[in-house]
Structure 1
Amino acid sequence: MTAPLWGHKPPPVDDVTEHWTSKPSEISLRCNYWIARHHAGSWRSNRWLRREGYHAAAEHLGVWIWEYLHMIRPLIDGETTDVSECRTSNRG
């Protein structure tokens, strides 16, 4: 099977609350995945995700709470975020 442009969905983070108030040393692969999908135009949040609290939304997406609040939620709200920062992390 050919991988989509944004890659296959990586596993979720183990504990979404591990990085709640502090930025992780490296952005999770799952966060990079959702941002890449958003910028490729292949993912938009749905009404459920927008109305849920940040903890439930982070669990649903499989990212740390900090990533949801500071990187993904601004995309959902129509704001821009510096994607170059997250794409430099976790490259193998």
Structure 2
Amino acid sequence: MSAPPWGHKPPAVEDVTTFWNEPPPASSPRCGYWLQRYDDGTWKPNRRIRTEGYHVAAEHLGVWIWEYLHVIRPLFDGEDQDA
């Protein structure tokens, strides 16, 4: 099976609640994957991700809750304000 142009998705974090209130010591590979896809213009969060609660959204994306709230969510919160 060939890889998509943006590469294969890294494994999800085991427990999204591990880093909830505190930042992780290093970003998870899955968070880096979504940021790279966003920067490349190959991914934008759909309405489902935008309307889910933070816990469900973090599980869906495979990142820690802290990463979702402080790294990924601000990307599209800023877009909503620009529209």
Per-residue deviation, 1:36: 0.2
Please give the residue correspondences for 1:1-92 in structure 2 after superposition, counting only pairs within 5 Å: 1-2=2-3, 4=5, 6-78=6-78
Per-residue deviation, 1:2: 4.7
Q: Which SS does the other structure have where 2:21 is aligned? A: coil
Structure 1 stretches of 4+ moved >4 Å: none
Deviations 1:57-90 (A, max 9, x none): 00000000000000000112126xxxxxxxxxxx
CA 1:18–1:2 in structure 2 vs 1: closer, same or farther (change >3 Å)?
closer
**What is the TM-score normalised by the length of structure 1?**
0.79
Per-residue deviation, 1:7: 2.4
Unaligned runs of 5+ in 2: none
**What is the TM-score normalised by the length of structure 2?**
0.88
More helix by share: 2
% identical equivalent positions: 63
Deviations 1:9-52 (A, max 9, x none): 00000000000000000100000000000000000011111111
RMSD: 1.3
Aligned length: 78
Amino acid at match of 2:77: D
